[in-house]
Chains A and B, each alone.
Chain A
């Protein structure tokens, strides 16, 4: 395949960056849910819900 190095670089960088970012989000989420007691995790409620201090 021609230009193989470019293809690998392009696709590779994109998928790796997106993957790392995604994992980073999951990790942040895990850490934060640990900090917030169950009663206050309001992201499961419907949009437009007024959070505290809104």
Chain B
């Protein structure tokens, strides 16, 4: 068991090291996420007060769209130069690979979330009323998206149509996360009178199920 986590840590560190060197998240994904916020601003043509009401939802839509890029990137790392064969031959358990990659995606999403919260504070005038709820629900949602995304990234990989297939596979599954995270952030940002902590429960359940399921299924998918 310890080996599974140790290997996962290795994989996560590898992915994050690649990110540190290539800076795809920083240079491409993060600007994209911010761009989505800006586009909403243009499209909704609304004053800050209205945008503040919608800010949580807009933020999480931006996160979901950006997560597509992050997951694509994570999956493509394994297919460059046949790296996934090397990974398989290394004898690491597939669940370690899953956990490691999901963890790396999670870290990237967490960074994105922080960036986007700053974004909505600045662009939409949101105020953080319950920072604890914000952080915890952000983490839970991040885990949910990262785990589900990594699983579907593997499902859609190697098909030559991954870029167009992944969104339509992944996004419907994440509907509960979008709803839950938005409601939790509604509460945390004071945008609506909602019990955010109840929604946190849903997010935690989703995150747990996604992680366990992903670890199990990843094995079935990789094995030949």
Is there a direct interface between A and B, measured as CB atoms under 8 Å apart in the complex? Answer: no
Chain A residues engaging chain B, CB cutoff 8 angstroms: none
